[in-house]
Amino acid sequence: MTSMEPLRGLFAQYRQLLNDADDWFDQAATGLGPTIGCQAGCSACCRGLFDITLPDALLLQVGFSQIDKERRQHILERCRLRRDQLQELWPELDAPYLLNALHNRPWQTMPEQDTTPCPLLDEQGYCSVYPYRPLTCRLHGFPHIETDGEVFSDSCCSYNEEAVCRSVQGVAPGPFRDLFTREAQLIRQVNL
């Protein structure tokens, strides 16, 4: 067995977890019908700052490597510009650019006001690495209700109708406890 074999197995498990999240999202979107804003080409939530896991970062790297060189250069330039803007706000932000390491986590108070688009979006608002996007990108938009009725999050994308956002009725319950438990187990394995 090569040294990469365990990592490949972890990636396969993580891809399955992401597929399960996609299945839930598709079911929720189908149940809510055409009244929701989460459709192909909508990138309203693809802005600001948010944290991702190490497995997400590694998967993004795989997807990024598959983009043509010219597009990668354009994305990297936008990333450098964003990094420079953030370093003006937070001079202590330095490589490896871990937002969670910032004192008092100031980045958590700015997401709603931060309309800076994700540098991975193309000119039409489509994600350049869509099949490789992080778990948080796959779950955003609808409330997260566990199959037993527990509400993990009642937030909803502001582009969805107010009725959908104010009520959890009609939103397909999901296996969030299982997804998050599996994700935590994989993160621990990757961090070993």
Q: What is the pLDDT of residue 3?
A: 62
For the cut 80, the answer to whether the pLDDT of residue 191 exceeds it is: no
pLDDT band at 47, cuts 50/70/90? confident
- pLDDT tens digits, residue range 70-117? 999 999 999 999 999 988 888 888 888 877 777 776 666 665 677 889
Helix runs in 49-175, H state only: 54-65, 69-89, 135-139, 162-166
- Angle, helices 176-190/5-32, rounded to nearest 10 degrees: 160
Answer yes or no: is pLDDT of 44 > 90. Answer: no
pLDDT in tens, 129-176: 999 999 999 988 888 888 888 888 877 777 776 656 655 556 678 888
Q: What sign does the CA torsion over 147, 27, 154, 58 have?
A: positive
Backbone angles phi, psi at 66, to 5 degrees: -90, -5
Name the CA dihedral angle for 11, 13, 15, 18, rounded to a multiple of 10 degrees: -130
DSSP tag of 118: P
pLDDT tens per residue, range 112-126 = 677 889 999 998 999
Question: Do residues 155 and 84 touch, judged by C-beta distance below 8 A?
Answer: no
Residue 126 C-alpha from the chain's centroid? 14
